Amino acid sequence: MAYVALYRKFRPPVFEDVKGQDHIVTTLKNQIRSDRVGHAYLFCGTRGTGKTSVAKIFARAVNCEHPVDGSPCGECDTCKAIASGSSLNVIEIDAASNNGVDNIREIVDEVSYSPTKGKYKVYIIDEVHMLSTGAFNALLKTLEEPPSYVIFILATTEPHKIPITILSRCQRYDFHRITADIIEDRLKEVTTAENVSVEEKALKYIAKAADGSMRDSLSLLDQCIAFNYGQELTYDKVLSVLGAVDTGIFGNLFSYLYNQNIAAALNLLADVVVQGRELTQFVNDFVWYLRNLMLVRTSDQMEDVVDMSSDNLLALKEQATNTDMDTILRYIRIFSELSSKMRYATQKRILIEMEFIKICKPQMEDTRDSIEDRIRILEEHTAKADKVLSGIKSGKIAVAAAPGQSVSAPVEVKKLDHAVPDDIKRIVNEWGKYMMNMPQPDRGYLKNARLSIDNDDKLLIVIDNKTLAEHYHEEQYYQNLERFFEEQMGKQVDFEVRYLESEKRFEENYIDLASINFDIITEEEVSIPTTQETATDIEEASVSADVPEDISKDTFAEDDTVQPISTDGLAEGFDAINLDIDEEEDIIPPEALALSGAMQEDAMDDENAFEEKDDDDNQNE
Ligand SMILES: [Zn+2]
């Protein structure tokens, strides 16, 4: 008997044997059981996911004389006739080779003859996206109102190429890629049925290489069995038949690239080429290796997903701990793009070599992640240089000065210092003065502001007008105020204007700086404090403020970056200062602020704007 390819021999005969497409199989079986069969179906999905198999089962099931739970019985005359291909009721057309108007007209003419035997005439049109526009138009009328005994099943790998007029007349079913586990199980069944002894690891590899296609997996298995006929099919044999490379090689390749050892990486590639490995497969497998590296880097509990032998996994983990995530992600992006570029390339090796060089010399790219990689490399160099420097300083490394060169101190760049907590205190103490010097409209906007500080020593200016608070989230207005602070105190002040919903009491959510009795220090007495002094000062201040026992931590759950501190009987000082400001001065009312309708809607929709703003800020940091 002639040899039948495994994927044809093991085509599922009934719905129950279709793997990984339960969502489709269940729907179709229910339609058959309840006798609510449609007249046009569109099966979409990548190759080898079961579109044709399901179409054939469906064609038998609708014609079967004694269907069993929606599936064809396989015993009756109709089932047998269709299975042997002698039935006239199931017509398969390959649209790739029959894509003209005439081919479709033939079908349309034939449709008018009712089936000789059985209930339905089923037309299965494979690769339907290959039909010409004229052919689609010719099909349209029949597809819309076919005789009651006709069913069309259109199958395609590229549904986006199908005209909307056709799509709208079909019930669409999307076939999923089949997971490697399901494929592996099926391969096990097949090898058992075929009496082939095979290593589990080998099947795992084939299942993964098939990339979601059951037909590909069976073809690959066929190929491997044929090559090693009568012997046990081992992992190594599968690798050599499929032109694949062992994981160990990818580990080496990664470390060469990561350490910019370009020569070693290119030599490794040369070896792979000499061994006759398939280069597209090589790149795909490397992407898979990087993916495993990424997962292991992310968490310790990834053993199951990573799917590797324990010694390989150990090596992978060690590599992952010495690597940073950004680099892994960058490599994955580069090699995934490379893999799709390679599909149509004739000079695959050169493409790979180009990418190796780009990776080892990130200055050749100007994408963001290549710049990040350059920073990583720079940081590593600086760390090394620091070691050398400290060696020089400690006298362990001797240096000879070059003739005519003198060592000069580095030029200091003039840059404003950041305000430290003591400076923030000064702002609080002198807020009245600040307010008086503040230009309009800021002075008006902030006249009722209350001041606080967050854990990062950022000055919080809290106001009860949402529109105004949002106004300061715009860069130019924020910068105006920032410049004002810089001019006033000669330092860069890190601050944020926040909105406090009126029902949320300020004291419950913020440290009220005005309530903490700082010693009023005049400008003459101030010596620039060091950061350490400042930190203890703030701590003392927090301790000296009364914290009543009855305020539980839960009350402050809204924002755990802010320390709750009681403010009983305080804050008068600050409020008093506010009174100094001339209320009658020309102040632009908040309503007059030009706001887009969208912004206003936003503000109204968004009850929790305050918290969300917080989140945004954290993300930006
Ligand atoms: Zn039957």
Ranking 52-56, 170-174, 185-189, 407-411 by mean pLDDT, the lowest is 407-411
Q: pLDDT: is 342 or 547 the higher one? A: 342
The Cα–Cα gap between 488 and 397 comes to: 48
DSSP E strands in 475-599: the ranges are: 495-499
Give the distance (Å) from ligand 1 centre to CA of residue 81.
10
Domain 422-515 has CATH 3.30.300.180: yes
Give the distance (Å) from ligand 1 centre to CA of residue 9.
20
Give the distance (Å) from ligand 1 centre to CA of residue 71.
8
- Smallest CA-to-CA distance from 468 within 458, 456, 478 is with 478
What does the chain come to in residues? 621
For residues 139-157, give the mean pLDDT. Answer: 91
The Cα–Cα gap between 438 and 428 comes to: 14
**Residue 71: what residue type?**
S
Residue 420 CB neighbours (<10 A): 20
pLDDT digits (tens, 9 = 90+) for 237-285: 888 888 777 777 888 999 999 988 999 999 999 988 888 788 888 898 8
Whether the predicted pLDDT of 440 surpasses 90: no
Per-residue confidence (pLDDT) for residue 503, from 0 to 100:
64
Per-residue confidence (pLDDT) for residue 398, from 0 to 100:
62
Whether the predicted pLDDT of 604 surpasses 70: no
Binned at pLDDT 50, 70 and 90, residue 190 comes out as: very high
The structure tokens 């949320």 sit at 504
The Cα–Cα gap between 316 and 252 comes to: 11
Binned at pLDDT 50, 70 and 90, residue 415 comes out as: low
159 prior amide bond cis, ω within 30: no
The Cα–Cα gap between 391 and 284 comes to: 45
Whether the predicted pLDDT of 300 surpasses 60: yes
Q: pLDDT: is 43 or 571 the higher one? A: 43
Distances (CA, A) of 376 to 257, 260, 365, 547: 13, 12, 15, 46
Give the distance (Å) from ligand 1 centre to CA of residue 123.
19
Give the distance (Å) from ligand 1 centre to CA of residue 172.
26
pLDDT digits (tens, 9 = 90+) for 448-467: 888 888 777 788 888 888 88
Give the distance (Å) from ligand 1 centre to CA of residue 82.
10
Average pLDDT, the chain: 78
Q: pLDDT: is 557 or 518 the higher one? A: 518
Q: What's the N-to-C CA distance of the chain in angstroms?
A: 71
Per-residue confidence (pLDDT) for residue 578, from 0 to 100:
45
DSSP E strands in 403-556: the ranges are: 450-453, 459-463, 495-499
pLDDT digits (tens, 9 = 90+) for 587-601: 444 444 444 444 444
Cβ contact 309:320 at 8 Å: no
The Cα–Cα gap between 540 and 534 comes to: 10
Ranking 159-168, 397-406, 456-465, 612-621 by mean pLDDT, the lowest is 612-621
Give the distance (Å) from ligand 1 centre to CA of residue 480.
82
Give the distance (Å) from ligand 1 centre to CA of residue 28.
16
Per-residue confidence (pLDDT) for residue 461, from 0 to 100:
86
Percent of the chain with pLDDT over 90: 25
Where along the chain do its domains lie?
6-174, 180-242, 247-360, 422-515, 547-613
Reduced 3-state DSSP string for 137-183: HHHHHHHHCCCCCEEEEEEECCHHHCCHHHHCCCEEEECCCCCHHHH
Give the distance (Å) from ligand 1 centre to CA of residue 6.
24
3-state secondary structure of 617: helix
- Smallest CA-to-CA distance from 334 within 301, 295, 373 is with 373
Assigned fold of 247-360: Zinc Finger, Delta Prime; domain 3 (1.20.272)
3-state secondary structure of 5: coil
Question: For residue 154, which phi and psi values (nearest 5 degrees)?
Answer: -100, 130
Give the distance (Å) from ligand 1 centre to CA of residue 295.
49
Binned at pLDDT 50, 70 and 90, residue 567 comes out as: very low
Residue 253 CB neighbours (<10 A): 20
For residues 169-193, give the mean pLDDT. Answer: 92
Per-residue confidence (pLDDT) for residue 59, from 0 to 100:
93
Span 6-174 CATH architecture = 3-Layer(aba) Sandwich (3.40)
Whether the predicted pLDDT of 580 surpasses 50: no
pLDDT digits (tens, 9 = 90+) for 72-85: 998 998 888 888 88
Give the distance (Å) from ligand 1 centre to CA of residue 579.
93
The Cα–Cα gap between 617 and 621 comes to: 6
The Cα–Cα gap between 317 and 311 comes to: 10
Give the distance (Å) from ligand 1 centre to CA of residue 151.
18
Give the distance (Å) from ligand 1 centre to CA of residue 44.
27
pLDDT digits (tens, 9 = 90+) for 58-116: 999 999 988 888 899 989 988 888 888 888 889 999 998 988 899 899 988 888 888 87
Selection from 172-186, 418-432, 520-534 with the highest mean pLDDT: 172-186
Cβ contact 76:66 at 8 Å: yes
Q: pLDDT: is 277 or 233 the higher one? A: 233
3-state secondary structure of 394: coil
For residues 146-160, give the mean pLDDT. Answer: 93
Span 180-242 CATH architecture = Orthogonal Bundle (1.10)
Per-residue confidence (pLDDT) for residue 416, from 0 to 100:
66
Token pair for residue 288? 């898979």
pLDDT digits (tens, 9 = 90+) for 360-388: 887 767 777 777 778 888 888 888 888 88
Q: What is the DSSP string of 534-550?
A: HHHHHHHHHHHS---TT
Q: What is the DSSP string of 251-299?
A: HHHHHHHHTT-HHHHHHHHHHHHHTT--HHHHHHHHHHHHHHHHHHHH-
Give the distance (Å) from ligand 1 centre to CA of residue 83.
10
Give the distance (Å) from ligand 1 centre to CA of residue 92.
19
pTM of this structure = 0.52
The structure tokens 């300061």 sit at 472
Per-residue confidence (pLDDT) for residue 399, from 0 to 100:
59
Percent of the chain with pLDDT over 70: 76
Give the distance (Å) from ligand 1 centre to CA of residue 66.
5
